[in-house]
Amino acid sequence: MNNFTYCTPTRYLFGRGVEIETGKQISALGIIRALVVYGGGSAVKSGVLGRVLESLETASVKTVTLGGVQPNPLDDKVREGIALGREFGVDGIVAVGGGSVIDTAKAIAAGIPYDGDFWDFWAGKNVISKALPVGVVLTIPAAGSEGSGNSVITLREGMRKISLRTDYWLRPKVALMNPELTFTLPPYQTAAGIVDMMAHIMERYFTPTPEVEITDRVSEGVLMAIMEEGRKVMAHPDDYDARANIMWSGTLAHNGICGTGRVEDWTSHAMEHELSALYGVTHGAGLAVVFPAWLTFMARHSPAKPAQFARRVMKVDAAGSDMELALQGIARLKDFFRSLGMPVTLAELGVPDPDIPELVRRLHDNKGAVIGGYYRLEAPQTTEIYRLML
């Protein structure tokens, strides 16, 4: 087990109706003027945005709103938020939405008190040392951004999609999580969220670090819970308990508890980010294509952990070499993704004729010549993995 630091100070309020606590919680953070960030019209139509604004007003928190955050959020919206927040003199950000909204809110929170261009942090030119406090009302469980220190923003110039990870500064101070708000999520979005949270665990799980049994067992447990409850929410979108289990699983998948003590990988996310950037696909759906392909490559080159995954998580109960077990586990993983209505090939994803050389070029331009923590990959290998998605 490797040395690690673990600190997840986010205060989670979880359950029915918790969004009406927003004002009280935001006020308790000392925030008196908040920028409220949201996405499309669903937060307005569902009434959640109205309840949040009313709750903030009741708690005497002044607000200004910024709507229209899109999936795979762009730097433009962050800049718009920074300008609006400065103009209004906000001292905190409230995100009402899913990963794209929260990631945008985090970037605004880091950008407002910074003299330079916020993208400096994402480009690795500077390190965040100050940020406004962020509160979250979660409406889409998937990205885990409500508990993570991460923010993924795409720079329109060159469509560079970059994930910034901080230990501390970008973690929300408070997250209000009402599973009822997710009843009306469309099936495709629910399914993509399930894949995304599973990927967040698997990116950590497939590691070269030996002897991390406690982290393995926790990760396997969260994966099994997601699969069991995932089947339920697809069949019964208004099953409160299933939605609650999925929502909390999405947080645990990405708040760090599944990563303690080990080297992580994140190749699949990097490979998917290029698909999203080039073809505008839904992140979770892209991961459903990338992850089995990446894992198939791994079964050939480093099969022990994929075999453990097959036995413990996918319940493959057969004799055979590690590679054989691993391949059976991958087949079951694909079956599960298909059962959710997710694609498992690029064609099914709507990219029948991908420009693999361009994907590979962009990937290594953005992430370096050698990538991955589990098994080190260069362009010939990442090319092979993209081909496995065909």
Query: SS3 for 303?
Result: coil
Residue 108 CA to its chain's centroid (Å): 18
Nearer to a copy of itself, 228 or 335 (CB): 228
CB under 8 A: which stretch of 7-15, 89-97, 286-294, 331-339 binds a copy of itself? 7-15
Nearer to a copy of itself, 222 or 281 (CB): 222
Q: Which two tokens stand for residue 190?
A: 């629910």
Closest CA to 340 of 146, 196, 215: 196
Nearer to a copy of itself, 226 or 371 (CB): 226
Q: Does 318 bind a copy of itself (CB under 8 A)?
A: no
Q: Does 203 bind a copy of itself (CB under 8 A)?
A: no
Binds a copy of itself (CB under 8 A): choice among 103, 180, 220, 274: 220
Which x/- pattern over 222-241 shows residues binding a copy of itself (rule: CB under 8 A)?
x-xxx-xx----------xx
Nearer to a copy of itself, 226 or 342 (CB): 226
Cα–Cα distance between 299 and 334 in angstroms, integer? 15
Q: Which two tokens stand for residue 283?
A: 């992140």
Q: Is 262 exposed, middle or buried, given 0-12, 13-18 or 19+ CB atoms closer than 10 A?
A: buried
Which x/- pattern over 14-53 shows residues binding a copy of itself (rule: CB under 8 A)?
xxx-x-----------------------------------
CB of 170 to a copy of itself, least distance (A): 16
Nearer to a copy of itself, 313 or 385 (CB): 313
Which letter, b or e, does each residue of 7-26 get, where b requires 16 or more Cβ atoms within 10 Å of its Cβ?
Answer: eeebebbeeeebbebbbebb
Residue identified by tokens 């339920």 is: 232
Q: Kindly tell me the sign of the dihedral angle through the C-alpha atoms of 331, 336, 340, 342.
A: negative
Contact between 132 and 92 under an 8 Å Cβ cutoff? The reply is yes
| Contact set for a copy of itself, span 47-106 (CB under 8 A) | none
Residue count of the chain, please give it: 390
| Contact set for a copy of itself, span 142-181 (CB under 8 A) | 179
CB of 256 to a copy of itself, least distance (A): 10
By CB under 8 A, name the binding residues for a copy of itself.
1-16, 18, 179, 210-222, 224-226, 228-229, 240-242, 244-245, 248-249, 252, 257, 260-261
